[in-house]
Amino acid sequence: MDALAATEGIDVPFVGPADLSQSCGALGQFDRELIRRAVDATATACKRHGKGWGMSVDSAEHANVLIEKGARLLSYGEDQTALVSGFRWARDLLRGLKV
C-alpha cells in the first residue's frame, strides 16, 4: 500500500471492501480482520504521502470512523444497492394494485 500511495498520479486510493472480501474468500464479510488491516494500511500510507483515500460506507457511523482515519472520498452503496432498492420500491408500489 505504501508503494501505491507513493505513486505519482494516484491521487486517492480507494479500498473496495466487496472486491477485497471476495479475494480473501469471504464475500460480503466486511468486518473481517483482513479488511480492517487493509483500511489501516491504506490510512497510514496515505497519511505518510499526504493523500486522501476512500472507501464505500454502509452507515453514518462507519463514515465517521473512516473520516477519523483520514478518508476523504466516501461512497454510499454501489450500483447493485441502488438497483435492489429501486426494484423493492417498485415492488412495494405495485403490490397494492388490483388487476
For residues 8-20, give the mean pLDDT.
90
Instruction: State the pLDDT confidence band at 3, using cuts at 50, 70 and 90.
Output: very high
CATH code at 86? 3.20.20.60
- Using the 8-state DSSP alphabet, how is residue 4 labeled? H
Q: What is the pLDDT of residues 66-88, one digit of tens each?
A: 999 999 999 886 676 778 888 99
Strand order in the sheet with 71-76: 14-15, 53-57, 71-76
Q: How far apart are CA 12 and CA 55, in angstroms?
A: 10
**Is residue 18 a contact partner of residue 27, using CB atoms and an 8 Å limit?**
yes
For residues 28-52, give the mean pLDDT.
90
Domains of the chain: total: 1
**pTM for the predicted model, two decimal places:** 0.73
Domain that holds residue 28: 2-95
